[in-house]
């Protein structure tokens, strides 16, 4: 039997040897699908798919056992590690109890010492570290102890691996996250345009969207915006808006900072289509009176007025150019009303049948971009359109069709509701209720000369208390109230929405410093307008001479 097996084995060996000699010159065929699958698996294990937060019910059950000093399994310990920041109506988080965390610290230290701390254990600790609800977590000594445990734990997990994996390289690169300066470097890198997408880091390090880390990163970024000069800011603000799109939670803060900084620039009367459209998409129209309060949650009245003026200018240009009806553009009327655009708190275009149904590219784009900001004109010739402008306490109604007077009404006693989706010609033209019917005659010798009917209009508007403002017509950079009060009073008024500390060393030749307890867009913007600058690497501390 043995001899027969030996012969069979020898025959097989000879056959294989002969086969190898025949095909030895040809390489083995490649398997592209298998290689792709292998690469995909490698990428999945190296980079790690986004891990779901440890289930809250399991965390709660494990923490109850931990609090009652009951034995825990390895997976239950992991749930406790992940629930250190959890709190309920009855008890606070373990991270605010030195005695309870002392037991955690001992368990983690023993696992590190015996090299039993797993990657999943370490990630659970990270989930608690980044999930702790506090604007200043580093003021909590227990949280600081957890920070140290995580640093040591990472070294332990890394030492257990036979080779350095991709996730380890990413964590090592961002080791600052587990130091006293957590978030500062990332904030600077994001501001400098070096990074924008942090999704990989967020996945690996178990960082919740609501983490204090994001607040720190964006506090640094927001404070740096106000340190840019006008030229730098004009080049950079589109990048900040793009960051806001990638991080929607912070879009309002970034948009607020960009609009506030734009308002401080010398070119603030030049509309920014990007800022205007982004603000319209996120906050609605500042001209819709019922919506204006939502704007004032994010920016001050002067900034809101700047954007309202942008809309007014665009509306006037659309009205007198795009919606000119069957006549040529009346450049004199466009020129006349543009002089008052920075005083217009409200504008409404009322489109006739032709403009409403026009399918040409310009009209389609206009209607799409201004959804909710125009009405339909009924009872009028199809080519006619109207524009309602509010300046001060008065409505002015102009028509695109020639031969129509401009009607003036007291806004509070207006005979029509400007918020209606359709307005009739008879509503807009009510001579008995109008304060004035201003006719466009005689014509000026040149569209830009204030003579003829333009001079008459000026006289009528002055009678109503309305006159041309200077280029800075959005309101002075410092309000009249601020100019009359001391700097100390101005500062207290500026930061009234947030807790703060003041250090005034001007009497000793030093600086006037303000330290905010937390990030507040309106307070920061107000301090910037008063000439304060941020202290390096301290986004909540401001100074001026």
Does pLDDT of 41 surpass 70?
Answer: no
C-alpha 145/C-alpha 442 separation (Å) is 82
At residue 426 the predicted structure's pLDDT band, cuts being 50, 70 and 90, is very high
Q: How long a stretch of residues is the chain?
A: 545
Output the CA torsion 400→404→408→414 (10° steps): -80
pLDDT tens-digit map of 75-86? 999 999 999 999
What average pLDDT does range 128-147 have in this prediction? 92
Give the rounded percent of residues in the chain with a pLDDT score beyond 70.
83
Name the residue with tokens 């867009």: 521
Name the band, by pLDDT with cuts 50, 70 and 90, for residue 70. Answer: very high
Q: Tell me the CA end-to-end span of the chain in Å, nearest whole number.
A: 104
Instruction: Give per-residue pLDDT as tens, 241-256.
Output: 999 998 898 999 999 9
Strand blocks (E) in 392-523: 394-399, 406-410, 422-424, 436-438, 500-504, 512-516
Confidence of residue 282 (pLDDT cuts 50, 70, 90): very high
Tokens of 474: 């959005």
Sign of the torsion formed by the C-alpha atoms of 240, 244, 250 and 253: positive
- Tell me the pLDDT tens digit for each residue of 308-317: 999 899 888 8
Which of 271-280, 324-333, 368-377 tops mean pLDDT?
A: 271-280
Q: For residues 393 and 413, what is the distance between their CA atoms, to the nearest angstrom? A: 10
Average pLDDT of the residues in 120-144: 92
Report, as an integer, the average pLDDT of 386-409. 91
More confident residue, 471 or 424: 424
Q: For residues 137 and 130, what is the distance between their CA atoms, to the nearest angstrom?
A: 9
Which range has the worst mean pLDDT, 7-16, 102-111, 449-458? Answer: 7-16
Give mean pLDDT, residues 286-305: 77
Q: Which two tokens stand for residue 470?
A: 């200077």
The pLDDT of residue 153: 95
Residue 12, pLDDT score: 66
What is the pLDDT at residue 515? 83
Confidence of residue 484 (pLDDT cuts 50, 70, 90): very low
Mean pLDDT for 374-379 is 92
Asked if the model's pLDDT at residue 296 lies above 90, the reply is no
pLDDT (0 to 100) of residue 19? 59
For 53-62, what is the mean pLDDT?
A: 89
Asked if residue 62 lies in contact with residue 80, where contact means CB atoms within 8 angstroms, the answer is: yes
Sign of CA dihedral 141, 147, 149, 152: negative
Q: Is the pTM of this model over 0.95?
A: no
What's the mean per-residue pLDDT of the chain?
A: 83
- Name the phi and psi angles at 427, rounded to 5: -75, -40
């Amino acid at each position: 039997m043995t001899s027969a097996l030996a012969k069979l084995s020898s025959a097989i060996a000879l056959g294989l040897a002969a086969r190898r000699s025949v095909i030895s010159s040809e390489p083995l065929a490649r398997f592209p699908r298998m290689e792709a699958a292998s690469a995909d698996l490698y990428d999945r294990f190296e980079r790690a798919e986004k891990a779901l937060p440890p289930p809250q019910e399991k965390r709660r059950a494990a923490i109850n056992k931990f609090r009652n000093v009951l034995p825990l399994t390895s997976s239950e310990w992991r749930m406790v590690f992940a629930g250190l920041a959890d709190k309920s109506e009855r008890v606070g988080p373990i991270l605010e109890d030195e005695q309870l965390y002392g037991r955690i610290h001992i368990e983690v230290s023993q696992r590190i010492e015996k090299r039993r701390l797993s990657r999943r254990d370490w990630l659970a600790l990270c989930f608690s570290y980044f999930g702790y609800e506090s604007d200043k977590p580093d003021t909590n000594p227990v949280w600081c102890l957890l920070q140290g445990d995580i640093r040591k734990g990472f070294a332990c997990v890394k030492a257990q691996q036979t080779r350095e994996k991709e996730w380890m390289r990413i964590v090592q690169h961002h080791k600052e996250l587990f130091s006293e300066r957590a978030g500062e470097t990332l904030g600077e890198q994001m501001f400098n345009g070096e990074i924008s997408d942090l999704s990989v880091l967020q996945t690996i390090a178990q960082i919740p969207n609501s983490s204090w880390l994001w607040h720190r990163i964006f506090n640094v970024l927001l404070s740096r915006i106000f340190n840019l000069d006008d030229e730098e800011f004009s080049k950079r603000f589109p990048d900040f808006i793009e960051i806001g799109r990638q991080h929607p939670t912070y879009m309002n803060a970034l948009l607020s900072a960009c609009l506030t900084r734009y308002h401080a620039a010398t070119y603030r009367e030049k509309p920014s289509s990007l800022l205007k459209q982004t603000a319209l998409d996120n906050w609605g129209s500042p001209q819709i009176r019922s919506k204006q309060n939502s704007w004032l949650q994010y920016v001050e009245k002067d900034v809101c007025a700047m954007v309202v003026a942008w809309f007014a200018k665009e509306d006037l240009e659309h009205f007198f150019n795009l919606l000119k009806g069957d006549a040529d553009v009346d450049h004199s009327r466009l020129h006349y009303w543009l002089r008052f655009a920075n005083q217009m708190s409200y504008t409404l275009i009322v489109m006739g049948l032709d403009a409403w149904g026009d399918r040409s590219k310009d009209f389609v784009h206009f209607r799409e971009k201004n959804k909710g900001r125009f009405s339909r004109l009924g009872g009028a010739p199809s080519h006619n359109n109207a524009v309602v402008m509010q300046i001060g306490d008065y409505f002015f109604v102009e028509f695109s069709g020639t031969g129509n007077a401009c009607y003036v009404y007291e806004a509070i006693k207006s005979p029509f509701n400007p918020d209606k989706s359709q307005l009739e010609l008879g509503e807009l033209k009510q001579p008995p209720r109008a304060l004035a019917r201003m006719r466009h005659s005689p014509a000026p010798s040149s569209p830009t000369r204030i003579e003829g009917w333009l001079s008459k209009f000026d006289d009528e508007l002055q009678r109503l208390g309305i006159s041309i403002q200077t280029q800075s017509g959005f309101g002075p950079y410092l309000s009249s109230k601020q100019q009359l009060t001391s700097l100390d009073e101005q500062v207290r008024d500026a930061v009234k929405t947030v807790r703060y500390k003041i250090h005034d060393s001007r009497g000793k030749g030093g600086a006037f410093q303000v330290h905010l307890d937390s990030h507040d867009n309106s307070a920061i913007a107000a301090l910037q307008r008063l000439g304060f600058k941020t202290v390096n690497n301290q986004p909540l501390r401001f100074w001026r001479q």
